């Protein structure tokens, strides 16, 4: 080990091993600290004045706004955010936390890690393709459909926090998002190139597959041209929608069968830019995917007729339609990161475990039918299935629909954000709000809710209702009405039984 002692611009001392290279990227060579808790990324080319100002602000004022406020600890695992700058002779480096262990492959690829990826970073590209997953990855690395939804919530929440701070990532892609599907974890990296609109322009235009159409179609215009589009918050929104679509459906939303030009480069520019068209556009079918032209490993997900985006449920279908139909060529019409996060959270409440133990995805979204089945393996759910329709009070005993449903499965928990519309499951949850208030079990051929902490739970199906105190159990019946909380914003549940 060759340890080098270095001092950051704020006086903080670090010890780095100049023989322990952690990796390299497009702009930096990265080395571990002596204790392996940090890395330093040395820029191969010394940043110019504007780039240095950007990095100073990212490690300074913007870091303080996100991490040094109340609740700042929540964001630490979701970003690999640079903390210090080191200037040594003619070299400049940034100090960053080491990636958590969950973002390195533990098992790698199939057949004893035949690809030799064990120990390497879990770059998101490994998980955005059915072929990569099914053909190459060890099943223990792949996670379930529920864990992908969980990871996508964290990605969306992270992007939402950047945008709240007035920042844009500028190169949001599966190269700059680490994913741990098995644990439902994500981490956004390459933070030192963040864009501050109107102040610090982007250093890059993005990664192919994720560049917004307006940026792609003006790519060849010179910097400074009034008609040139550069990465900003609206282009992040496009990239985020592409990421979530690919992580849930393992295909690209714009890469279909349509050929725009005989020249491959020109065809790429048009299909991702001026003439970009959603592969599942409701009216224009010309860019539908061609399952006959892909390798078997990409099926069935490459076939939009077999696995349409409807399988993601109504909330995400609406989001994807806004992103890839109404907002594809209209940046102002794209869903925000907050829109995406809320749709994903509501989608998790619609999810069901597949009863087929060999199903690759293991979970699916309830399809609003009386005979629900898994769209991935075709297995039908057997037995009664409670659907809880959520209404919330708006004062004076008036309840309005929340366009929110909760599907019940055995040992599923109910939380405070189900009890009242005033609580949302995000970074602001306090310790008490994170604890379950009850759970569901299937016992003796009947569905039962076990009340753990709700003091105001009542069955109000008839008359003044029956009170069920903490510690009691209540059977779920078709057309039943349960008041979860009498407070303003409190929820009323209307129970419907599917599959009966």
Considering the chain, what is the average pLDDT of its residues? 90
Average pLDDT over residues 288-312: 90
Is pLDDT of 188 > 80? yes
Tell me which CATH code domain 103-349 carries.
1.10.510.10
Instruction: Specify which residues 494 forms β-bridges with.
Output: 389, 481
Q: What is the pLDDT of residues 427-449, one digit of tens each?
A: 999 999 999 999 999 988 899 99
pLDDT over 70, % of the chain: 96
Instruction: Specify which residues 121 forms β-bridges with.
Output: 104
Q: What is the pLDDT of residues 195-205, one digit of tens each?
A: 876 676 666 67
Separation CA 319–CA 334 (nearest Å): 8
Range in 220-224, 265-269, 270-274, 417-421 the model is least confident about = 220-224
Write b or e for each residue in 318-334: b if 16 or more Cβ atoms lie within 10 A of its Cβ, otherwise e. ebbbbbbbebbbebeeb
Domain boundaries defined on the chain? 3-98, 103-349, 383-498
CA angle, residues 451, 454, 455, in degrees to nearest 5: 120
Is pLDDT of 94 > 80? yes
Q: Which of 120-129, 294-303, 361-370, 433-442 has the highest average model confidence (pLDDT)?
A: 433-442
Q: For domain 3-98, give the CATH superfamily.
A: Phosphorylase Kinase; domain 1 (3.30.200.20)
Q: What is the pLDDT of residue 236?
A: 95
Whole-prediction pTM: 0.93
Q: What is the pLDDT of residue 226?
A: 81
User: CB of 335 within 8 A of CB of 241?
Assistant: yes
Instruction: Specify which residues 413 forms β-bridges with.
Output: 439
CATH 1.20.210.10 fits 383-498, yes or no: no
Separation CA 421–CA 402 (nearest Å): 8
Q: What is the pLDDT of residue 32?
A: 85
Three-state DSSP state, 235:
helix
Residues 6+ apart with CB under 8 A from 150: 184, 348
Separation CA 176–CA 187 (nearest Å): 8
Q: What is the pLDDT of residue 468?
A: 95
Three-state DSSP state, 43:
strand
Band the pLDDT of 20: cuts 50, 70, 90: low
State the helix-helix crossing angle for 145-164 and 337-348, rounded to 10 degrees: 150
Three-state DSSP state, 66:
helix
Is pLDDT of 324 > 90? yes
């Amino acid at each position: 080990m060759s340890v080098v002692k270095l001092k950051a611009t704020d006086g903080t001392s670090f010890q780095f091993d100049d023989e322990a290279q952690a990796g390299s990227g497009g702009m930096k060579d990265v080395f571990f600290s002596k204790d392996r808790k940090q890395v330093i990324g040395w820029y191969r080319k010394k940043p110019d004045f504007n780039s240095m100002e950007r990095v100073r602000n990212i490690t300074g004022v913007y870091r303080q706004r996100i991490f040094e406020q109340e609740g700042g600890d929540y964001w630490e695992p979701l970003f690999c955010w640079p903390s210090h700058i080191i200037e040594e002779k003619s070299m400049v480096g940034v100090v960053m936390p080491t990636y958590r262990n969950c973002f390195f492959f533990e098992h790698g690829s199939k057949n004893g890690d035949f690809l030799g990826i064990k120990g390497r970073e879990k770059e998101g590209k490994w998980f955005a393709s059915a072929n990569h997953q099914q053909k190459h990855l060890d099943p223990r690395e792949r996670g379930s459909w529920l864990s992908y939804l969980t990871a996508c919530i964290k990605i969306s929440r992270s992007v939402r926090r950047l945008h709240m701070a007035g920042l844009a990532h500028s190169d949001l892609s599966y190269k700059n998002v680490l994913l741990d599907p098995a644990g439902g974890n994500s981490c956004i990296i390459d933070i030192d190139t963040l864009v501050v609109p109107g102040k610090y322009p982007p250093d890059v235009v993005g990664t192919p597959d994720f560049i917004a159409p307006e940026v792609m179609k003006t790519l060849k215009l010179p910097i400074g041209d009034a008609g040139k589009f550069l990465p900003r918050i609206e282009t992040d929104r496009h990239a985020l929608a592409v990421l979530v679509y690919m992580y849930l459906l393992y295909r690209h939303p714009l890469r279909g069968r349509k050929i725009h030009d005989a020249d491959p480069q020109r065809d790429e520019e048009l299909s991702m830019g001026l003439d970009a068209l959603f592969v599942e556009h409701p009216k224009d079918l010309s860019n539908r995917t061609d399952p006959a032209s892909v390798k078997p490993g990409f099926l069935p997900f490459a076939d939009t007729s077999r696995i349409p985006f409807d399988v993601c449920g109504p909330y995400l279908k609406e989001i994807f339609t806004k992103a890839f139909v109404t907002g594809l060529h209209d940046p102002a019409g794209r869903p925000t990161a907050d829109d995406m996060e809320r749709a994903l959270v509501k989608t998790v409440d619609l999810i069901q475990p597949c009863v087929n133990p060999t199903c690759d995805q293991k979970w699916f979204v309830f399809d609003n039918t009386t005979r629900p089945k898994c769209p991935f393996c075709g297995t039908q759910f057997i037995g009664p299935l409670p659907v809880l329709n959520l209404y919330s009070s708006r004062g004076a005993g008036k309840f309005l629909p929340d366009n929110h449903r909760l599907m019940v499965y055995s040992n599923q928990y109910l939380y405070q954000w189900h009890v009242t519309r005033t609580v949302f499951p995000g970074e602001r949850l306090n310790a008490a709000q994170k604890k379950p208030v009850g759970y569901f079990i299937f016992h003796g051929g009947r569905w039962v809710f076990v009340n753990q902490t709700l003091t105001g739970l009542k069955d109000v199906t008839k008359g003044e209702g029956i009170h069920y105190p903490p510690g009691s159990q209540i059977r779920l019946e078709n057309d039943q009405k349960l008041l979860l909380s009498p407070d303003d914003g409190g929820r009323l549940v209307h129970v419907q039984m599917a599959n009966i």
